[in-house]
Amino acid sequence: MGDNNDSVKSRTFDAIVIGSGISGGWAAKELTEKGLKTLVLERGRDVVHLKDYPTTNMNPWEFEHRGEVPREIQEANPVGLLGKYVAFHNYRAHISAIYDGFKDSTSEGRRPTSAYIPRFRNVFKQETDFLRGYAAGFSAGRSAQQKKDGIGKKLKDNLASNELGAWHVGSHMMGETIPKETNFVSLDKTRKDEWGVPLLNISVDYDDNDEKNG
């Protein structure tokens, strides 16, 4: 009788999980962690972890899309804007200078931003032969003068120096560009970097309106 009771106990479980898929496997894990004796029944073949899942360690860009945009991207980007209408404002105009005087003075604390004259053309009405407008920025100050010569301790000491350099002053102009579909970013279909990640194809240019603004 004792042997028969032991046999019955060995075949008695607190819970039975049918199927070892993602839901069944997780349920079995939770049950066993709570101390319940759990039986998992699976009709399929024996599956070896990782070995029988060849795509487990693949990156999303390594899957073959057959030249089509994956469904998940289409659903998240229903109007086809992903990667398009890249805009990079025109910063071609700039000027800077260094002044070696006033070594006994410097600025103190941190400023939230430099001086800035926001766009003031084509605000309330069209005033020019181009769309959008332009703005100007201005800044000045002194920064640490780091010497990068030397080797070992001397180089470290030079880089850690807090000695202030000369005063610098500068200004720039920013011409606004208009986002356009012809400016885009895409993943290269054949070229990859040393880690196997597809390289970026970046196609951005200025049109006639941007040239007039700049």
| Residue 192 maps to a domain | no
Query: What distance lies between CA 12 and its chain's CA centroid?
Result: 53
| Side chain identity at residue 94, one-letter code | H
Residues 98 and 150 in one domain: yes
Across-strand partners of 43?
none
pLDDT at residue 78 in the model: 72
pLDDT at residue 32 in the model: 94
Side-chain-facing half-sphere of 81: CA atoms under 13 Å: 9
Q: How far apart are CA 192 and CA 211, in angstroms?
A: 34
Residues 48 and 112 in one domain: no
pLDDT at residue 13 in the model: 92
Residues 7 and 52 in one domain: yes
| Residue indicated by tokens 């009771």 | 5
| Residue 15 maps to a domain | yes
| Residue 19 maps to a domain | yes
Q: How far apart are CA 141 and CA 209, in angstroms?
A: 35
- The torsion region of residue 123 among left (phi > 0), alpha (psi -120 to 50) and beta comes to alpha
Side-chain-facing half-sphere of 173: CA atoms under 13 Å: 10
Residues 101 and 47 in one domain: no
| Residue 7 maps to a domain | yes
- Of the residues 57, 79, 102, which one is the last residue of a structural domain? 57
Is pTM beyond 0.85? Reply is no
Residues 98 and 171 in one domain: yes
Whether residue 145 contacts residue 161, with contact meaning beta carbons closer than 8 Å, is answered with yes
Q: Which domain holds residue 26?
A: 2-57
pLDDT at residue 113 in the model: 66
Low pLDDT (below 50) residues in the chain: 1
Residues 101 and 169 in one domain: yes
Cα dihedral 144, 147, 151, 153 in deg (nearest 10):
-30
pLDDT at residue 119 in the model: 82
Q: How far apart are CA 187 and CA 185, in angstroms?
A: 7
The total number of structural domains in the chain stands at 2
| Residue 34 maps to a domain | yes
pLDDT at residue 34 in the model: 93
| Residue 156 maps to a domain | yes
| Residue 16 maps to a domain | yes
Task: Tally Cβ neighbours within 10 Å of residue 142.
Answer: 16
| Residue 109 maps to a domain | yes
